[in-house]
Structure 1
Amino acid sequence: MHSRCDLACDYCYVYRFADQRWRTQPRTMTSHVAELTAGRIAEHVRDHRLTRIRVILHGGEPLLRTPDDLAAVVTRVRRAVGPAVTVDASVQTNGVRLSEDYLRAFDQAGVRVGVSLDGDAADHDRHRRGPDGRGSHAAVTAAIRLLTSPRYRHLFGGLLCVIDPRTDPAGVYRSLSDLDPPMIDFLLPHGHWSSPPPGREAGDAATPYADWLITVFDLWYGASAPPPPVRLLESIVHTLLGGGPAVQGIGLGPVQTVVVETDGTIEQGDVLKTSRAGTTRSTLNVASAAFDRVLLSPPVVAQQLGPLALAPVCRSCDLRRTCGGGQYAHRYRDGAGFANPSVYCPDLYRLISHIRRRLRDDLTGRGGVAG
């Protein structure tokens, strides 16, 4: 919806990594491009006889657009696909600009709201600052209080938190849980073998991210009262019990997301911009191309191959069905492409193994906490 942002988060995969094409993108998606996009979505729905789709208004920061602009896009999509198709519409925002005007518009248009929050003020403001260096926690928590008020609570989609292994995991988890979100989404910071995330080095057996998430898992799994859903952990549990993955980067399911940029270009998931400049570059545009053409493009086909797309060491791993090689973007290495294990391989193996032991102990009646 908008290719710019009003924050300057130090881990942002759009602005801080190799691909800087955002600088030449139009700032906003025009109403004409939005109409063409709605038409392509409707075409895809008809061709594949879909009855339910998910549309995410993203950025940059989408709330740099007006409330009416954002609501109009959702209205266009619903009108294009027709009343027989359910459109689960959401907006992912940093929360700084979230006001009652936006929430009224989202309420009328049926748009759920996800907000990024990295914990308490100290943890959040360590990374999520404005261009002037000032933290955003106060503005974001004020917005969340408004979002969770009785009038708008039904619009609350959840909280997104990027993991920093230097923080106290129990403290971060509790600060998010205290807001009673309908879902918490913990994200590993984006990086790969040629640009590793903080605390991860090639050949290092340390597992700072697994250690962090294991603390959260044990609190979440052992809670006496029903805890908020944690999407990453639920997805791991689900796949270990034989189900399919529910989150990108877990399991062997095919990629199911496509991005329409502000100029109408149809691209792969934009997290791949972390690898090298031009990785997601495309000649396809909603003005002339159907989404099926993206499905047939070699970079997307490579992500649809399941175990065949994994590195040899991953194919022989006992956790491959659950891990799935990790997030595709996290496998990249200069000169070798994506045919590698995840840069988070040691963390993923330890985390999934810990959860598997906990489940196995419970299912066999042994109980207890496995380290």
Structure 2
Amino acid sequence: MLKDGWRPRPFRQFLLKVHSRCNLACDYCYVYTLADQSWRSKPMVMAPDLVTAVAGRIAEHATAHNLRSVRLILHGGEPLLAGHAYLRKVVETLRAAAPGGLHVDAVVQTNGVLLDEAALRTFRELDVRVGISLDGGRGANDRNRRYVDGRSSYDAVADALALLRGPEFRPLYTGLLCTVDLANDPVETYESLVQFEPPMVDFLLPHGTWESPPPYRSSDPSNTPYADWLIAVFDHWYGRSGETVVRLFQEIVTLMLGGASASEAVGLTPSTLVVIETDGTIEQTDSLKVVRHGAPVTGLNVVDHPFDLALTHPGMVARQLGADALSDTCRDCRFGRVCGAGLYPHRYRPGTGFLNPSVYCPDLYRLIGHIHNRLVGDLRRASR
């Protein structure tokens, strides 16, 4: 227990980097193209003995904290490069080690280009759900998400989505992740994604910090290009009564109505995610790779250390402290509880660390304000 009676929340999401390489060369990727280049020294695949060690540590953590369920996130790199037989073994190993009464929910996040019927049959047998990354239609997606030799990845992903949307595998489909590119038309991008009938669309802001801002994010607070883009999508989506779940919008609306966020992108819900790399090292959220080389490191590994030790790492604590970890600017902001200073890595500035608003502060403020005004206006009209 730390001072003032604060206690850490146990980890409930275990993100396994089962394969450290990728078969695409996305030019915005935080793993390969930004500040941290530790992937170069990582094993390509997590060894079976480390998978067993992870399974034991998760079981140990769940028992210590009386957890009834945890989520296993199979990630990379590209997890399907390890093969679906390997992924089967990972899931079976972790579930076999789970203490009685613990449910291990599993999901794989993939670029989709290797997702075929054989893999989907494996995932169906194991009840492993599938999320796919796609940035819109062919032109939008291929602007950033191509093979190393420049070839389009779109057709392979579209073919995978055709399989995933079919009646046999549809229950496994969790949704689409789309990184915002201001060069792509917002409504066209949204419509291109919706044609694949996703249960959810999650729009992600490109990673950046105050030291290395994202594209077109200038120091002028009146310049809000990402808000402009997202507002165009919101108005189109909202006018259609939310035909599919758009996670960012749903989280903001939930927070405005007094609920808690299930996303680290907004809100103050304590983070319960921990990352395990292919070499067994325990790390903080992998998006911290945008900050500097080694930023996610905790100095711990699954062979020698229990997950409880990671709970006391300053970076983990900061992501669980809520408003107490925010800058004065954010605590004083009218939308501070809703915004939550945005994604933790996006707050970084040399000299003050993470005690800053998000580098996307003007965009988040404008987007949240716009959604607030739309909701208030509709509620007032409904009450007349």
| Residues 107 and 152 in structure 1, CA contact (< 8 A), matched pair in contact too | yes
| Residues 231 and 246 in structure 1, CA contact (< 8 A), matched pair in contact too | no
Give the structure 2 partner of residue 304 of structure 1. 320
Does 2:374 correspond to 1:362?
no
Give the structure 2 partner of residue 350 of structure 1. 366
2:196 to 161, 175, 179: 179
User: How far apart, CA to CA, are the structure 1 residues paired with 2:99 and 2:171?
Assistant: 24
Whichever residue aligns with residue 360 of structure 1, its letter is V
1:150 to 167, 172, 177: 167
Give the structure 1 partner of residue 50 of structure 2. 33
Secondary structure of 1:283's partner?
strand
Cα drift, residue 336 of structure 1: 2.5
Over the residues paired in the alignment, what is the CA RMSD in angstroms?
Answer: 1.3
Whichever residue aligns with residue 371 of structure 2, its letter is I
Whichever residue aligns with residue 209 of structure 1, its letter is Y
Whichever residue aligns with residue 271 of structure 2, its letter is V
Give the structure 1 partner of residue 31 of structure 2. 14
Give the structure 1 partner of residue 296 of structure 2. 280
Superimposed CA distance per residue, residues 133-176 of structure 1 (whole angstroms, 9 cap, x where no aligned partner): 11211111111111111211111111000001221111111111
Superimposed CA distance per residue, residues 25-52 of structure 1 (whole angstroms, 9 cap, x where no aligned partner): 1111011101110111111111111112
Whichever residue aligns with residue 346 of structure 1, its letter is P
Give the structure 2 partner of residue 96 of structure 1. 113
Cα drift, residue 313 of structure 1: 1.0
Whichever residue aligns with residue 155 of structure 1, its letter is L
Secondary structure of 2:32's partner?
coil
User: How far apart, CA to CA, are the structure 2 residues paired with 1:70 and 1:37?
Assistant: 14
User: How far apart, CA to CA, are the structure 2 residues paired with 1:82 and 1:68?
Assistant: 24
Secondary structure of 2:196's partner?
coil
User: How far apart, CA to CA, are the structure 2 residues paired with 1:222 and 1:88?
Assistant: 34
Looking at secondary structure, tell me which structure has more strand per residue.
2
Does 2:219 correspond to 1:202?
yes
Give the structure-1-normalised TM-score: 0.96
Give the structure 2 partner of residue 125 of structure 1. 142
User: How far apart, CA to CA, are the structure 2 residues paired with 1:311 and 1:181?
Assistant: 36
Find runs of 4+ consecutive structure 1 residues off by over 6 angstroms: none
Does 2:353 correspond to 1:316?
no
1:58 to 66, 75, 78: 75
Secondary structure of 1:54's partner?
strand
Number of residue pairs aligned between Structure 1 and Structure 2: 366
Does 2:355 correspond to 1:339?
yes
Give the structure-2-normalised TM-score: 0.93
Whichever residue aligns with residue 256 of structure 2, its letter is L
| Residues 126 and 135 in structure 1, CA contact (< 8 A), matched pair in contact too | no
Cα drift, residue 86 of structure 1: 2.1
Superimposed CA distance per residue, residues 303-355 of structure 1 (whole angstroms, 9 cap, x where no aligned partner): 22211211121111010000001111001112331111101000000000011
What percentage of residue pairs aligned between the two structures are identical?
A: 54
